[in-house]
Amino acid sequence: MRPARRDLLTLLAGGMLMAGCKPAGNATPLPKPKSDRPLVIASMSVLADVAQAIGGDDLEVRSIIGPDQSAHHHDPSPKDLVGFERASLVIHVGFKLEGWVARLPESTGYRGPIVQASESIAPILVQGTIPDPHTWQSFDGLLRYARTISKSYGEIWPHKAEAFRGRFVDFVQQLAAAREAASSALATLSSQKTLLVVPHNSFRYLGRELGLEFLAVSDLAGGTQPSAQTLAGLIDQIRQADAAACFIEGPGDERLMGEIARESGARLGGRLYADALSGPDGPAATSIAMLTHNVTTIANALRG
Ligand SMILES: [Zn+2]
């Protein structure tokens, strides 16, 4: 097994603290079922996949932010806000990812329950105070999403609780098998000091879980260009590692990551799915496939 390592930036940020979490739905009475196939609205694609996996044919799940779309800085369009009048539940990640969720009552008139999927996850704090929202990037994170969602469904639709529970158990089994395969893929690598260079800081939870060290070019949400001084510092750090690999998250990252790889001697390791699923024909079409793809891509790059 590889020795567990903590993300350097997490260490600098002061480590992890337990969240003072409070389900957003507590203050709101649970609604009665509205139709044979009630509507659940999830904020982003990874969360919607977990919500649909537990809901199965009993629920219709819609995602506000779809596959291949960044989950950051989303400003819902009028089209996104259609349908809330018949929604029975809204699920969001939390940790300040979706500021628009708090405005739903005024923007849509929605008064139903709002559940925070990451409520039981100990946040990794950035700069000591900012909870990193990328909780979907770990097997434990998806497990906790699934548990929270299954529990909420059971409370809202108690007559279907057994079906939700059964799908939750199936999901956990698939997740455990994927987690086992991921550990095996990483266990075959040598334990020398490795760095995984990514466009933005979206893999701290995966790093915490699997003992991988990620170095991000940009900030928490991405989209900012690093200064020449920042780049020079990054390249120095990469040169000091025994092995390093650079990854892209989308076509726009190729030029910068290629330049960093050339300057530092790191390998180019392919595409990781950070903030969204791929389309249905892509390699990260489900939440579990996304984690499997990311870990496999990392293991292949480190293996060279
Ligand atoms: Zn992100």
274 alpha carbon to ligand 1 midpoint, in Å? 6
Domain that holds residue 101: 14-181
State whether 103 and 207 are in the same domain: no
State whether 158 and 222 are in the same domain: no
- Distance of alpha carbon 299 from alpha carbon 304, whole angstroms: 9
122 alpha carbon to ligand 1 midpoint, in Å? 18
- Distance of alpha carbon 249 from alpha carbon 264, whole angstroms: 19
Predicted local confidence at residue 22, as pLDDT? 33
34 alpha carbon to ligand 1 midpoint, in Å? 34
pTM to 2 decimal places: 0.86
Predicted local confidence at residue 222, as pLDDT? 63
Structural domain ending residue among the three candidates 127, 150, 181: 181
State whether 234 and 126 are in the same domain: no
Query: Is residue 8 included in any domain, yes or no?
Result: no
Structural domain ending residue among the three candidates 148, 181, 214: 181
Burial class (CB in 10 A: 0-12, 13-18, 19+), 222: buried
130 alpha carbon to ligand 1 midpoint, in Å? 14
State whether 195 and 52 are in the same domain: no
52 alpha carbon to ligand 1 midpoint, in Å? 22
State whether 130 and 250 are in the same domain: no
Predicted local confidence at residue 16, as pLDDT? 28
Instruction: Find residue 248's DSSP bridge partners.
Output: 271
Query: Is residue 3 included in any domain, yes or no?
Result: no
35 alpha carbon to ligand 1 midpoint, in Å? 35
Query: Is residue 7 included in any domain, yes or no?
Result: no
State whether 173 and 225 are in the same domain: no
State whether 176 and 29 are in the same domain: yes
State whether 134 and 167 are in the same domain: yes
**Beta carbons within 8 Å of 40's beta carbon, 6+ residues apart:** 51, 55, 59, 60, 61, 62, 87, 88, 89, 90, 91
97 alpha carbon to ligand 1 midpoint, in Å? 9
Q: How many domains does the chain have?
A: 2
Q: Using H for helix, E for strand and C for coil, what is the string for the chain?
A: CCCCCCCHHHHHHCCECCCCCCCHHHHCCCCCCCCCCCEEEEEEHHHHHHHHHHHHHHCEEEEEECCCCCCCCCCCCCCCCCCHHHEEEEEECCCCCCHHHHHHHHHHCCCCCEEECCCCCCCEEECCCEECCCCCCCHHHHHHHHHHHHHHHHHHCHHHHHHHHHHHHHHHHHHHHHHHHHHHHHHCCCCCCEEEEECCCCCHHHHHHHCCCEEECCCCCCCCCCCHHHHHHHHHHHHHCCEEEEEECCHHHHHHHHHHHHHHCCEEEEECCCCCCCCCCCCCCCHHHHHHHHHHHHHHHHHC
180 alpha carbon to ligand 1 midpoint, in Å? 25
What angle is formed at CA 190 by the lines to CA 193 and CA 8, rounded to 5 degrees? 25
State whether 293 and 233 are in the same domain: yes
137 alpha carbon to ligand 1 midpoint, in Å? 10
91 alpha carbon to ligand 1 midpoint, in Å? 18
200 alpha carbon to ligand 1 midpoint, in Å? 7
Task: At 192, list the tokens.
Answer: 């020398």
Query: Is residue 1 included in any domain, yes or no?
Result: no
86 alpha carbon to ligand 1 midpoint, in Å? 30
Structural domain ending residue among the three candidates 132, 163, 181: 181
The CATH number of whichever domain residue 205 belongs to comes to 3.40.50.1980
State whether 98 and 133 are in the same domain: yes
Query: Is residue 9 included in any domain, yes or no?
Result: no
State whether 161 and 18 are in the same domain: yes
Predicted local confidence at residue 223, as pLDDT? 63
Each residue's pLDDT, cut to its tens digit, for the chain (304 residues) gives 343 333 322 322 332 222 323 333 344 454 554 457 999 999 999 999 999 999 999 999 999 999 999 888 788 898 999 899 999 999 999 999 999 999 999 999 999 999 999 999 999 999 899 999 999 999 999 999 999 999 999 999 999 999 999 999 999 999 999 999 999 999 988 767 789 999 999 999 999 999 999 999 987 556 667 888 888 999 999 999 988 999 999 878 889 999 999 999 999 999 999 999 999 999 999 999 999 999 999 999 988 7
Predicted local confidence at residue 40, as pLDDT? 98
State whether 171 and 207 are in the same domain: no
